[in-house]
Amino acid sequence: MNYKIAPSILACDFSRIGEQIRMINSSNADWLHVDVMDGVFVPNISFGQHIVKTMADLSEKTVDVHLMIVNPEKYIEQFRKAGAEIITVHAEACPHLHRTIQQIHDSGAKAGVAINPHTPVNIVENLIEDLDLVCLMSVNPGFGGQKFIYQTLEKIRTLKEMIVSKNSKALIEIDGGVGLQNMESILKAGADVLVAGSSVFKSENPINTVAKMKSLFSEN
Ligand code: DX5
Ligand code: ZN
């Protein structure tokens, strides 16, 4: 199977953030997943564009910014300038989702749509051809370290069928509660990118954990 691992910096030790990003640089992770939370769309606040810029400047991995904020269209250009290479907005936060996706593309970034656990995947059906990524939340967004919601597996299968039938290039990213213990079923259902926060950063040796996650089901 061909898949990417995206460690989520939310779970890192913030007292040594530079070191933690360098550690991810030296691992065989594919992307660096960065969770931006505003305390309105989700019941938690994380960090804004200045911190994202600091992290992106240090990162040698693709910077994958997940905006869990209301009115994300106001901040697309700022996050792009901060170094975001992929910008994902929540379908639930965008009344004009198609326009927001165009705006992300116009900024020069790849565009993703995230959907909450209760949101059906058909919300992206009429713009799937325009997306680079669909992020299925497998926990309720806002916090790291939660338990994977198993109904997500069915959503992955439905979304995969939609992507194939519409000939879309969108990758399926799974975010929340992902680790060595459940990645096989997630990949078999059709996921392309696995976000891993606690399972990487809270493990004894994060570099080894990423290496294990990468090699477990890869073809080479
Ligand atoms: C949840 C975030 C996730 C989180 C994942 O709102 O979007 O990216 O960091 O953390 P774990 O892997 O610990 O569930
Ligand atoms: Zn996330």
For β-strands 62-68 and 86-90, DSSP reports them as parallel
Q: Is 177 left (phi over 0), alpha (psi -120 to 50) or beta?
A: left
Q: What is the mean pLDDT of residues 99-109?
A: 98
Q: How far is the CA of 193 from the centre of ligand 2 (A)?
A: 12
Contact 34, 21 (CB under 8 A): no
* Protein residues whose CB sits closer than 6 Å to any atom of ligand 1: 8, 10-11, 33, 35, 66, 139, 141-146, 175-178, 195-199
Ligand 1 mutation pick, 5, 10, 41, 186, max ligand atoms within 8 A of CB: 10
Q: What is the pTM of this model?
A: 0.98
Q: Dig out the tokens for 120 from the structure.
A: 């059906």
Domains in the chain (CATH in brackets) are: 4-214 (3.20.20.70)
The model's confidence at residue 106, banded by pLDDT at 50, 70 and 90, is very high
Q: Which residues are catalytic?
A: 35, 175
Q: In what order do the strands lie in the sheet with 171-175?
A: 4-7, 193-196, 171-175, 133-137, 110-115, 86-90, 62-68, 31-37
User: 40 C-alpha vs ligand 1 centroid, how far in Å?
Assistant: 17
**Helix, strand, coil: what percent of the chain each, to 5?**
45, 20, 35
**pLDDT tens-digit series, residues 122-158:** 999 999 999 999 999 999 999 999 999 999 999 999 9
Name the phi and psi angles at 201, rounded to 5.
-70, -25
